[in-house]
Amino acid sequence: MMKVATKQSREGETPTVKARSRGRRIAVWSGWLLLAAVVVGGVAYGPDLVNLYRLGEQIDAIAKEDTRVYGPWPRTIDECMGCHGVGGNARAQTYPRLAGQPEAYLKKQLKAFVSGERTDPAMTSLALSMPDKELEALATHFAHVAPLPNTTFKPDPARVARGEAVAKAGSCVACHGAALEGKGEFPRLAGQGYDYLRHQLMRFKDGTRRDATGAMPAVASQLSQQDIDDVAQFLASR
Are 210 and 109 in contact by the 8 Å Cβ rule? The answer is no
CATH topology of domain 78-236: Cytochrome Bc1 Complex; Chain D, domain 2 (1.10.760)
Closest among 119, 238, 138 to 188, alpha carbons compared: 238
Comparing 46-50, 91-95, 170-174, 229-233, the range with the smallest average pLDDT is 46-50
Q: What is the pTM of this model?
A: 0.68
Q: pLDDT tens for residues 170-220?
A: 999 999 999 999 999 999 999 999 999 999 999 999 999 988 788 999 999
Classified as helix, coil or strand, 146 is: coil
Name, in order, each residue with C-beta under 8 angstroms of 203's C-beta and a sequence gap of 6 or more: 209
pLDDT at position 3 is: 47
